[in-house]
Structure 1
């Protein structure tokens, strides 16, 4: 586009902005991802302790349980 060739930081009026797409919203989700709460972290730590697995494996299992 001609306007981008002159100024790469300016959006071209021929290409309207897509207001429905946000940077921190993955496809298929309607809200941005939020950081885990202390209760969720405590539950993951308890699962890791109980099953004697790593914290990352406990997170994977918890997410698999949510998806199922």
Structure 2
């Protein structure tokens, strides 16, 4: 059976671990991940664009007996 002091010590240890983990996640969200994405963007090569490509476009008009109006 654990004594009261051991339970408090275990609770404090878990609390400190959670504090460090959540602090790391907060810093990672606002600084680490954007920095990583900036580095990846700098290292990747820009792709050549093909401006001669013209996509086909279709327009669908859902109507019923509206041939005179459309």
TM range (shorter): 0.3 to 0.5
Normalising by structure 2, we get a TM-score of: 0.32
More helix by share: 2
Normalising by structure 1, we get a TM-score of: 0.33
**Greater Rg by CA:** 2
Comparing both chains, which one has the higher relative contact order based on Cα–Cα distances under 8 Å and sequence gaps of 6 or more?
A: 1
